[in-house]
Amino acid sequence: EPEVTQTPSHQVTQMGQEVILRCVPISNHLYFYWYRQILGQKVEFLVSFYNNEISEKSEIFDDQFSVERPDGSNFTLKIRSTKLEDSAMYFCASSGDMGTEAFFGQGTRLTVV
Amino acid sequence: ILNVEQSPQSLHVQEGDSTNFTCSFPSSNFYALHWYRWETAKSPEALFVMTLNGDEKKKGRISATLNTKEGYSYLYIKGSQPEDSATYLCAFIAGTYKYIFGTGTRLKVLA
């Protein structure tokens, strides 16, 4: 069964460092998403991506965040200068069409120290 | 700001009990409503995708209804089993590409 895969499963980084979280969406899917969940809080939408550009982004997705689909299979989230409050579980998801069910990866736990 | 609320936040039920929880969402700019089941240490899995007012969906002992005019959806579990223990998330999809998740209902079924 096709699945969304994320790497690494856990990333520890120093405050101020750049991190890149990687995702391989399901191959025939067209829409890609990043979400995060800070420990004990709700799942928060970050950004959606379609046709090689950002479709929608939340207030959280400020200038320190960027997304890229560099090679047609990977979908990456870059955080330029990490802050302590960026520590969270980051989930990538993809869907075949807008509004259809999203398939989630297992998540990357980002810890900023 | 679009707000999606779920209630209750958590509940404990005995094995065999039936239960239900609510997802409230904006009644305007509706595109779809999803229910996801999220077990600890796993990623969310879709249960239902609902798009039409009055939709009723069923999967085994779990069913859901949708009222887009008043902005709510109910998820029902009949005869709860310990393996139903999970967080149940609803996601409201507005007429854009944004999925807005509720806070979730944490269900614990006691054997």
Q: Does B33 touch chain A (CB under 8 A)?
A: no
Q: What is the pLDDT of residues A34-88, one digit of tens each?
A: 999 898 887 888 998 988 899 888 889 999 999 999 887 899 999 999 999 999 9
CB B37 within 8 A of CB B86: yes
Instruction: Give the gap in angstroms from C-alpha A12 to the nearest C-alpha of chain B.
Output: 19
- Comparing A78-87, B1-10, B29-38, the range with the smallest average pLDDT is B1-10
What pLDDT score was predicted for residue B36?
Answer: 94
What pLDDT score was predicted for residue B95?
Answer: 74
Coil, strand or helix at B35: strand
Between A42, A44, A105, which is nearest B104 by CB? A42
CB A82 within 8 A of CB A18: yes
Strands (E), chain B: 5-7, 10-14, 19-24, 30-38, 45-50, 56-59, 62-67, 72-77, 86-94, 99-101, 105-110
pLDDT(A98) > 80: no
| Partner-chain contact B104 A50, CB within 8 Å | no
What pLDDT score was predicted for residue B100?
Answer: 83
- How many CB atoms within 10 Å of residue B86? 21
What pLDDT score was predicted for residue A46?
Answer: 92
Strand partners, B63: B58, B76
Percent of residues, chain B, with pLDDT higher than 90 = 71
Q: Give B70 or A43, the one with higher predicted confidence.
A: B70
| Partner-chain contact A99 B102, CB within 8 Å | no
What pLDDT score was predicted for residue B2?
Answer: 67
| Partner-chain contact A42 B101, CB within 8 Å | yes
| Partner-chain contact A102 B31, CB within 8 Å | no
Mean pLDDT value of segment B17-39: 92
What pLDDT score was predicted for residue A58?
Answer: 87
What pLDDT score was predicted for residue B76?
Answer: 97
- How many CB atoms within 10 Å of residue B103? 17
pLDDT(B16) > 80: yes
Mean pLDDT value of segment B52-61: 94
Percent of residues, chain A, with pLDDT higher than 90 = 66
